[in-house]
């Protein structure tokens, strides 16, 4: 079966992990700060706080933004559940902004409309979590232009988008218009540390809160609170209710080695996306916008005339590991229990009805891609 996504490891990546196993600290050594530094150098953000997953990164990002019970957080339905769950971990209420059918990202007009309704009803969100779907960056400057007058904090769920750039040519993760960006290093993402994630930010206060929340809320920095004794050499103090969301040095070593391949990975993904784009042009399906700036995490088509389940099963039977991204978050049973129903976000639901994710990863061979295309041709013609 050709999978829809797969990591690519080089011998030097494996060597960097075995070096840590042989010589280094397994956790809380030098690999994590070095990984954070290299992600900052790459993205242009000032601070990086590595976590044991993108999901834990989203959680501490919400905490650092001050999200708590009674607050309102918005995100999009067309994402992985973690984009909304992180606000629920903090006890906040969640609501969604529908997507633009062309970009499949947050719709600017839907956002503008929802903001004006929320303003008149007196219930604006504290935070909006923006998702760069499939690796294609949202127009962050346009989003910030709509939200800044309300003081809404923007968090980028950039789990798909490391290696991508925005419309202004800045690397995703630079946080020019947002408070924080959250990256994931799960094996299907741009680079991998097996499990892992990172929050990047330019705000020193937020960075120090993120470090606290990542590690039990505990700090050894005696300067933080002057009323605590600081002359004992064993001093540490817990200031917040934090978690153990630390990344290990083994994972960080892999992430550091992988980051060196990022440009090559994204270029390979784009070349394959470009090939899909021209070779699928005559089929009855909608292709994604061929965005040169995207990190091309995933390649989704939308079927126009065929039943998605039939095509899905046919392709799987022929060894093509297609998938579906995403079941709209508000239609999961957990979110339905909170009051969301079908019909609330029609663009996300319509997109989902026809969506099919085709295999796309750096080591997908042209022969494998030709096979995917020929099978799709046979089934749809
Ligand atoms: C993968 C992903 C996450 C979560 O990342 P993990 O590292 O798997 O916890 C969050 N949001 C989106 C959109 C993702 O695709």
User: Is 247 a pocket residue for ligand 1 (Cβ < 6 Å)?
Assistant: no
In the beta sheet, which residues pair with residue 300? 357
**In the chain, which residues fall in CATH 3.40.640.10?**
11-259
Q: How far apart are CA 149 and CA 119, in angstroms?
A: 11
Q: In testing the pocket of ligand 1, which one of 83, 158, 159 has its CB within 8 Å of the most ligand atoms? A: 159
Does the global pTM surpass 0.85? yes
User: Is 255 a pocket residue for ligand 1 (Cβ < 6 Å)?
Assistant: no
**In the chain, which residues fall in CATH 3.90.1150.10?**
262-380
Atom of ligand 1 minimally distant from the CA of 197? 7
Going from the Cα of 159 to the center of ligand 1, the distance in angstroms, rounded, reads 5
User: What is the C-alpha radius of gyration for the chain, rounded to an integer number of angstroms?
Assistant: 21
| pLDDT value of position 232 | 76
Q: Which CATH class is domain 262-380?
A: alpha beta
Going from the Cα of 221 to the center of ligand 1, the distance in angstroms, rounded, reads 31
In the beta sheet, which residues pair with residue 34? none
Closest residue by Cα to residue 358 from 291, 293, 287, 310: 287
3-state DSSP of 314-356: HHHHCCECCECCCCCHHHCHHHHHCCCCCCCCHHHHHHHHHEE
Return averaged pLDDT per consecutive 10 residues of the chain, 381 residues in all: 97 98 94 98 98 98 98 98 98 98 98 98 98 98 97 98 93 98 98 98 97 94 63 83 98 98 98 98 97 97 97 98 98 98 98 98 98 97 88
Residue pair 132/138 in contact (Cβ under 8 Å)? The answer is yes
First to last CA, the chain: 23
Going from the Cα of 285 to the center of ligand 1, the distance in angstroms, rounded, reads 27
Q: In testing the pocket of ligand 1, which one of 54, 136, 295 has its CB within 8 Å of the most ligand atoms? A: 54
Q: How far apart are CA 284 and CA 91, in angstroms?
A: 44
User: Is 80 a pocket residue for ligand 1 (Cβ < 6 Å)?
Assistant: yes
Residues 6+ apart with CB under 8 A from 276: 287, 299, 358, 360, 369, 373
| pLDDT value of position 24 | 83
Atom of ligand 1 minimally distant from the CA of 297? 15
Helix (H, G, I), strand (E, B) or coil at 113: helix
Helix (H, G, I), strand (E, B) or coil at 372: helix
Going from the Cα of 184 to the center of ligand 1, the distance in angstroms, rounded, reads 6
Q: How far apart are CA 228 and CA 183, in angstroms?
A: 35
Fold of 11-259: 3.40.640
CA distances from 233 to 223, 228, 276, 354 (A): 14, 13, 61, 62
User: Is 82 a pocket residue for ligand 1 (Cβ < 6 Å)?
Assistant: yes
Atom of ligand 1 minimally distant from the CA of 133? 13
User: Is 105 a pocket residue for ligand 1 (Cβ < 6 Å)?
Assistant: no
Residues 6+ apart with CB under 8 A from 175: 45, 156, 181, 200, 201, 202
Structure tokens at 15: 């060597």
3-state DSSP of 217-251: CEECCCCCCCCCCCCCCCCCEECCCCCECCCCHHH
User: Is 83 a pocket residue for ligand 1 (Cβ < 6 Å)?
Assistant: yes
């Amino acid at each position: 079966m050709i999978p829809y996504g797969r990591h690519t490891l080089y011998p030097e990546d494996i060597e960097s992990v075995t070096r840590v196993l042989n010589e280094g600290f397994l956790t809380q050594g030098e690999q994590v700060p070095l990984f954070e530094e290299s992600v900052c150098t790459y993205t242009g953000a000032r601070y990086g706080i590595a976590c044991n997953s993108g999901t834990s990164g989203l959680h501490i990002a919400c905490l650092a933004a001050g999200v708590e019970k009674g607050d309102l957080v918005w995100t999009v339905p067309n994402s992985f559940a973690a984009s909304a769950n992180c606000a629920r971990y903090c006890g906040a209420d969640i609501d969604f902004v529908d997507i633009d059918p062309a970009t499949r990202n947050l719709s600017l007009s839907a956002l503008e409309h929802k903001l004006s309704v929320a303003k008149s009803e007196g219930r604006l969100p504290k935070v909006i979590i923006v998702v760069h779907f499939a690796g294609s960056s949202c127009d962050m400057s346009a989003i910030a232009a709509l939200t800044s007058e309300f003081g809404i904090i923007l968090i980028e769920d950039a789990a798909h988008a490391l290696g991508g750039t925005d419309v202004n040519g800045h690397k995703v993760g630079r946080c020019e218009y947002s408070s924080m960006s959250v990256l994931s290093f799960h094996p299907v993402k741009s680079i991998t540390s097996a499990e892992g994630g990172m929050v990047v930010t330019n705000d020193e206060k937020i960075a120090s809160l993120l470090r606290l929340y990542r590690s039990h809320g505990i700090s050894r920095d005696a300067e933080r609170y002057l009323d605590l004794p600081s002359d004992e050499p064993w001093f540490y103090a817990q200031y917040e209710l934090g978690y153990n969301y630390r990344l290990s040095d083994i994972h960080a070593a892999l992430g550091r080695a992988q980051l060196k391949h990022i440009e090559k990975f994204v270029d390979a993904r784009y070349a394959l996306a470009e090939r899909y784009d021209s070779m699928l042009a005559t089929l009855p399906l909608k292709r994604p916008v061929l965005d040169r700036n995207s990190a091309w995490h995933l390649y989704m088509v939308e079927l126009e005339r065929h039943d998605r389940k039939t095509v899905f099963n046919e392709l799987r039977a022929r060894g093509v590991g297609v998938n579906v991204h995403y079941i709209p978050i508000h239609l999961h049973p957990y979110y339905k229990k909170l009051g969301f129903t079908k019909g609330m976000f029609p663009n996300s639901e319509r997109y989902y009805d026809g969506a099919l994710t085709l295999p796309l990863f750096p080591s997908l061979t042209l022969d494998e891609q030709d096979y995917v295309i020929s099978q799709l041709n046979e089934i749809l013609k």
